[in-house]
Structure 1
């Protein structure tokens, strides 16, 4: 993915996501499968977990089961964060949608079930954040709350 060529401003991405997600209906539970990253990535993910905020987009932290430092959640239905995921195939697509939230780049993918999946770009570990259908219209606003922890613990670079 040519991130810089397809970069959207936070506001533009929010408008885009609101338009794309506007037809959502009932919520489905988000996946909470625990990733299996390398030891180096898992170490970074543990640091990220310790730095994550207690609230995201006004929702209190409620980690999904099974409990892991590689996953986190906020609200019900939950905004789910998974750290150490594999590189999504769309990351290599020059036409993929990308956005930036407070200095952190994200690949943006609307899923068939109405959820929105964001995967961090230009960071040494891939971090995935999934918004449930009921929160898809929130756009990138939850990512703004996650940006300080991301910038503090997940260095810029290219993931393995």
Structure 2
């Protein structure tokens, strides 16, 4: 005894070509939506171009940086640079050494929170995407850490973990 397939009345009211195309169109739309929601696997990071002693200090810092930061593996962008380090924290934690002095330090953000960790001051700025930009100030080279939202219990955690290395490699 063959069992009959019941088609909902809403579908039987549609012309046959529409019914036949409904499933392929729905699947195609789903695939397009999923693929479109994926971000680029390795967004470009602007590489600073320090000169003189600052470049040397940044190279020394790069050699001392850990392969893992607070449980997140290091996954540097390609091509590699001694001035950029990235940890795959989804979204990524990015360190850039040798950045220019932030212009905001002279503007309305100059009074933003600047926590001190082990006598190293990190000027902080909350960015539009919810991440924090932390810049080690009063050093021979400026070091910037972008702390992504929702990854750490405090946005200062990656900067705090990197403080001893910054202090050891970049004089104040």
Normalising by structure 1, what TM-score?
0.72
Q: Distance in 2 between matches of 1:97 and 1:38?
A: 29
2:64 aligns to what? 51
Shift of 1:74: 1.0
Compared with structure 1, are the counterparts of its residues 115 and 66 closer, same or farther at alpha carbon in structure 2 (3 Å cutoff)? farther
If each structure's helix is expressed as a fraction of its own residues, which one has the higher value? 2
Shift of 1:41: 1.1
CA shift digits 1:72-109 (9 cap, x unpaired): 01124210000000111222355222112233211100
Q: Distance in 1 between matches of 2:72 and 2:94?
A: 12
State the aligned residue count. Answer: 130
CA RMSD of aligned residues (A): 2.2
2:163 aligns to what? 147
**Greater relative contact order, per chain length (Cα 8 Å cut-off, separation 6+):** 1
Unaligned runs of 5+ in 1: 1-26
Unaligned runs of 5+ in 2: 1-38
Give yes or no for contact 2:145–2:158 (8 Å, CA) kept in 1: no
Give yes or no for contact 1:30–1:80 (8 Å, CA) kept in 2: no
Compared with structure 1, are the counterparts of its residues 132 and 66 closer, same or farther at alpha carbon in structure 2 (3 Å cutoff)? farther
Shift of 1:30: 6.7
Compared with structure 1, are the counterparts of its residues 57 and 37 closer, same or farther at alpha carbon in structure 2 (3 Å cutoff)? same
2:24 aligns to what? none
Q: Distance in 2 between matches of 1:100 and 1:56?
A: 20
2:114 aligns to what? 98
Compared with structure 1, are the counterparts of its residues 129 and 66 closer, same or farther at alpha carbon in structure 2 (3 Å cutoff)? same
Structure showing greater Rg: 2
Decide which moves more: 144-153 or 27-36: 27-36
CA shift digits 1:89-148 (9 cap, x unpaired): 222355222112233211100111222100111111100000123326532111222112
Give yes or no for contact 2:83–2:97 (8 Å, CA) kept in 1: yes
Shift of 1:68: 0.3
Give yes or no for contact 1:115–1:136 (8 Å, CA) kept in 2: no
CA shift digits 1:18-49 (9 cap, x unpaired): xxxxxxxxx99776110011132111100000
